[in-house]
A and B are shown apart, each in its own frame.
Chain A
Amino acid sequence: MPKRFDQARPFLTLGLVVAAWFFVPTVVKTFTRASFFELTAPVGVAVSYARDLQEYWSLRLRSNDELVQAGRDVARLIASYDIAVQQNVEMQGEIARLEGLLRLPSYTGYRSEHARVVRRDFSGWWQRLTIRKGKNFDLAVGSPVVFSGGVVGRVSEVFAYTATVDLISSQTVRLAAVVEGDIRPISYQGGLNPTFGSAGGIIEFVPLDIFASANSTKRLVTSGLGGVFPPGLTIGSVIKVEPSNDGLFKSGEVKLDDRLAALIEVTVLIPLSPN
Chain B
Amino acid sequence: MLRLLFIFLSTFLLWALTAQLNHALAPWRLYVFVGALAVTLPALTFSLRAGLLASFLGGLVFDATAPIPFGTHALLFALVHAVVFNFRDRVPRDDTLSRVIIALFANLGLFLVFSFTQVARSPAPASLWPRLFADLACSQVLLALIAPWFLAVQARALALVDHEQKRYA
Which residues of A does B touch, CB under 8 Å?
A: 7, 9-11, 13-14, 17-18, 21, 29-30, 32-33, 36-37, 39-40, 43-44, 47, 119-126, 128, 130, 156, 164, 166, 171-172, 189, 191-197, 199, 201-202, 261-262
Q: Which of A11, A44, A195 contacts B28 (CB 8 A)?
A: A195
Inter-subunit contact B135/A123 (CB<8 Å): yes
Inter-subunit contact B23/A120 (CB<8 Å): yes
Stretch at the interface among B93-101, B120-128, B158-166: B120-128
Given A122-B31, A202-B124, also A36-B20 (CB < 8 A): no
Whole-angstrom distance between the Cβ of A40 and the nearest chain B Cβ: 6
Report the tally of A-B residue pairs with Cβ distances under 8 A: 133
Residues on B with beta carbons closer than 8 Å to the beta carbon of A262 = 26-27
Number of interface residues of B (CB under 8 A): 51
Whole-angstrom distance between the Cβ of B147 and the nearest chain A Cβ: 21
Inter-subunit contact A14/B30 (CB<8 Å): no
Whole-angstrom distance between the Cβ of B107 and the nearest chain A Cβ: 14
Inter-subunit contact B26/A36 (CB<8 Å): no
Residues on B with beta carbons closer than 8 Å to the beta carbon of A199 = 29
Q: Which of A122, A166, A191, A195 contacts B122 (CB 8 A)?
A: A191
A166 to B82, CA, bound (A): 33
Given contacts A33-B70, A124-B115, 10 further A-B contacts (CB under 8 A): A11-B82, A13-B48, A17-B75, A40-B12, A40-B65, A43-B16, A44-B19, A122-B26, A126-B66, A191-B123
Whole-angstrom distance between the Cβ of A183 and the nearest chain B Cβ: 24
A199 to B28, CA, bound (A): 10
- Name which residue of chain A comes closest to B16, CB basis: A43
Whole-angstrom distance between the Cβ of A169 and the nearest chain B Cβ: 9
